[in-house]
């Protein structure tokens, strides 16, 4: 399941991100790819230990932890500190699968259940750069506007197409979800939406609203950390 969160960043937040990235210290992205993926990758990445990277990552993490739609869709347990990359001059990242276990700078690890890309450049400002995700045997091409975010299952083959003109800036990170199974997480997301819709139609003290709410919490209890 792909989840698009439009306008995750407000216009002013976006401006702040762009300003901070200007003149930041970019490095060869292949340095952070695994052995198999490195030859596929020709992009730039921000030095994670730079002040710019750390400030934006902290900012973004804080925003994620309070965003109701992100929380309901991702049910995050751990979030990898966001990283920032830049594709230009035909930069691209060939088809690959992300590693299952990601080691964070602080020595802890997480399982990458979901991958996320937050677009920081306007779609019209560069050519190419589509994120192509193969999901359920169907190839999805994703190119969002600046400030929009996409969540996709990390077990999917995906690639970023070459950017022959302009510059594609983005943040990316992984989520270890409370719920490993994409189907179960999707079922909880839809059940949550049904409960909200029924609460509006029938009121929060309707018997079915209460019963479905108990179902939501008990399914979450059965499935979390499994």
Annotated binding-site residues for 2-oxoglutarate read 168
Which CB atom, from 165 or from 210, has the smaller least distance to a copy of itself? Answer: 210
Residues at the annotated binding site?
A: 96, 98, 158, 168
String marking each residue 49-88 x if it binds a copy of itself according to CB under 8 A: ----------------------------x-----------
Contact pick of 36, 51, 62, 104 for a copy of itself (by CB under 8 A): 36
The answer to whether residues 70 and 81 touch, using CB atoms and an 8 Å cutoff, is no
| Distance in angstroms (rounded) separating the CA atoms of residues 80 and 82 | 6
Contact pick of 24, 30, 135, 142 for a copy of itself (by CB under 8 A): 135
Where are the alpha helices (H) located in 75-206, listed in sequence order? 182-202
| Distance in angstroms (rounded) separating the CA atoms of residues 21 and 43 | 15
Q: Considering the complex, what minimum distance in angstroms separates the CB of residue 189 from a copy of itself?
A: 11
Which CB atom, from 16 or from 37, has the smaller least distance to Ni ion? Answer: 37
Nearest of 170, 163, 165 to residue 149 by alpha carbon: 170
Judged by CB under 8 A, which stretch of 9-17, 25-33, 43-51, 179-187 contacts a copy of itself?
179-187
Helix (H, G, I), strand (E, B) or coil at 174: strand
Residue 206 CA to chain centroid, in angstroms? 36
Binding site for Ni ion (CB under 5 A): 98
């Amino acid at each position: 399941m792909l989840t698009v969160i439009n306008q995750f960043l407000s216009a002013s937040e976006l401006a702040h991100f762009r300003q901070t990235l200007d003149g930041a210290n970019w490095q060869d992205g292949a340095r952070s790819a695994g052995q198999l993926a490195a030859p596929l990758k020709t992009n730039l990445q921000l030095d994670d230990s730079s002040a710019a990277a750390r400030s934006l990552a902290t900012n973004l993490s804080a925003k994620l932890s309070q965003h109701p739609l992100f929380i309901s869709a991702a049910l995050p347990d751990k979030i990898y500190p966001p990283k920032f990359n830049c594709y230009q001059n035909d930069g691209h990242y060939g088809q690959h699968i992300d590693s299952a276990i990601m080691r964070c700078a602080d020595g802890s690890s997480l399982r990458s259940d979901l991958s996320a890309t937050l677009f920081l450049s306007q779609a019209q400002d560069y050519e190419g750069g589509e994120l192509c995700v193969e999901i359920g045997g169907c190839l999805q091409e994703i190119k969002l506007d600046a400030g929009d975010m996409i969540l996709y299952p990390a077990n999917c083959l995906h690639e970023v197409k070459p950017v022959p003109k302009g510059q594609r800036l983005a943040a990316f990170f992984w989520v270890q979800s409370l719920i490993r199974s994409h189907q179960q997480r999707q079922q909880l997301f839809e059940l949550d939406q049904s409960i909200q819709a029924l609460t509006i139609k029938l009121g929060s003290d309707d018997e079915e609203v209460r019963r479905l709410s108990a179902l939501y919490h008990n399914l979450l209890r059965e499935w979390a950390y499994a």
